[in-house]
Every structure is written in structure tokens, then in C-alpha cells.
């Protein structure tokens, strides 16, 4: 796979790309039983849907609220007991807490180390609030040059104003930034904006029918350093 050229900074989506969004439900498997996996999937599905719908309506709410709203929908839909005098007290609060300390994917620490050793700037560009992103990074012991939240733009991805935050943070043109996301819609959005894009297609999704086209497609981020000359 040919390397990208002219990359000065690597910017990452957080949820699903650096951090496993299913790990919160997985850590509550003793309570959730066979509903852990369906809950993780529906929670994530509604979380993303609510960001897009709020953006279209012009009714922004931060990602912590959206995440909680999506969790409430998923718990009710799957008929999972809510906190109360049952055997699952505080389940919702526990799941929300765990969303602040999601597990990083195994390759992530070494990939970031190699990028930084090669002199490349690194950043997260996420739907998450500053508090959410900071908690994830601190919990995993990772380091970045910048942590960028959509709250600085007041709108969710894939709005162009969000991707512009990365250019402004580093004073670089779009083509000098490699953007990595596991979300197809996000990868295509960043590509349409003008960034060089590596689609970390962990779920082996089919190509999107959207403007833009990722420059490279990989199964995990382990392939990234070679693609950017690190």
C-alpha cells in the first residue's frame, strides 16, 4: 500500500477509532447478560443518529447529553431494568461512568508512540465534550498535541466547521493532515473537506455512497505509521 505524501499531522476520531465504544457494556456483562452486545450496538446507533438529527434541526446539545439520551432509548427498547429496587441498581449511572474510561484498541499506544517519535503532530477531533475526551485520554495514559471537540464549533460532524478546527489548531492546509476514522460517514466527510483520509474500517463496512473517498483503507490503526512515513 503506497504511503501518503506531505503529512505533517495525524488527527483521529475518538469513538470507535481509538476507543472501543462497546467496552462500557462489556464491563457490565454480569448484569446485562446476553443483552450486553445488543445494548452496545443500539446505544451507539442512536447516539450517532441523535447527533445528525440535532445538527439538521439546529438544536445542538452536547455529546454527554446525547449519549445519555441514546442510552435511555436503548435500555427502554431492550426492556433492561432501570435503577430501582431490582438487581441492577445504578446501571445507567454505571454505564455512563464507564463511557468516560472506554478501552483503547490494543494497537493505539504503540501507533501514537511511533507517530510522535517521527515528529508528527497528533490530535483527537471528536464529537465528545472536552471533559469526555480528556477523561478518555487520561484513563488510557495517552498523549496528544491537541484535543479538539465539536463544542468549539457548536455542531456535529460531518459539518465542515468541525474539520476546520484541525486546520486552525495546527496552522496547516487540509492536505497536510491525515485524518483517521473508523466511521465511514466521518471518513468520507473529512475526505470531501479536503484532508487525506485513512479509513480504519474495523467493521469491514461496504463503501459509502457519499461525497469524498478515503485515500487508504485499513483494518486497524497498526498500518498507519507506515502509511505516513513513521
Residues tagged active-site: 13
Sign of CA dihedral 198, 199, 201, 207: negative
In whole angstroms, what is the distance from residue 127 CA to residue 150 CA?
Answer: 5
**Rounded distance, CA 17 to CA 140, Å?**
14
Residues 127 and 4: their CA atoms lie apart, in Å, by: 26
Helix (H, G, I), strand (E, B) or coil at 9: strand
C-alpha cell at 23: 467496552
The whole-angstrom separation of Cα 21 and Cα 208 is: 21
Work out the angle at residue 144's Cα, subtended by the Cα atoms of residues 147 and 189, and round it to the nearest 5 degrees. 55
16/32 Cα distance (integer angstroms): 21
Which class for 152: exposed (0-12), middle (13-18), buried (19 or more C-beta within 10 A)?
A: middle
Total residues belonging to the chain: 230
Amino acid at each position: 500500500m503506497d504511503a501518503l505524501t506531505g503529512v505533517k499531522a495525524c488527527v483521529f476520531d475518538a469513538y470507535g477509532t481509538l476507543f472501543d465504544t462497546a467496552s462500557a457494556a462489556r464491563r457490565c456483562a454480569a448484569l446485562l447478560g446476553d443483552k450486553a452486545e445488543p445494548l452496545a450496538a443500539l446505544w451507539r446507533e442512536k447516539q450517532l443518529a441523535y447527533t445528525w438529527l440535532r445538527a439538521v434541526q439546529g438544536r445542538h446539545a452536547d455529546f454527554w447529553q446525547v449519549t445519555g439520551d441514546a442510552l435511555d432509548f436503548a435500555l427502554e427498547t431492550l426492556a433492561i431494568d432501570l435503577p430501582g429496587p431490582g438487581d441492577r441498581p445504578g446501571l445507567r449511572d454505571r454505564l455512563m461512568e464507564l463511557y468516560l474510561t472506554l478501552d483503547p484498541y490494543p494497537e493505539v499506544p504503540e501507533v501514537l508512540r511511533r507517530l510522535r517519535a517521527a515528529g508528527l503532530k497528533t490530535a483527537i477531533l471528536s464529537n465528545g465534550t472536552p471533559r469526555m475526551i480528556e477523561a478518555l485520554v487520561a484513563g488510557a495514559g495517552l498523549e496528544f498535541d491537541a484535543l479538539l471537540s465539536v463544542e468549539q464549533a457548536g455542531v456535529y460532524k460531518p459539518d465542515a466547521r468541525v474539520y476546520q478546527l484541525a486546520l486552525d489548531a495546527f496552522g496547516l492546509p487540509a492536505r497536510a493532515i491525515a485524518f483517521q476514522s473508523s466511521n465511514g460517514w466521518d471518513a468520507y466527510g473529512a475526505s470531501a473537506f479536503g484532508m487525506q483520509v485513512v479509513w480504519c474500517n474495523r467493521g469491514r463496512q461496504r463503501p459509502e455512497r457519499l461525497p469524498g473517498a478515503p485515500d487508504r483503507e485499513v483494518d486497524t490503526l497498526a498500518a498507519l505509521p507506515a502509511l505516513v512515513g513513521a
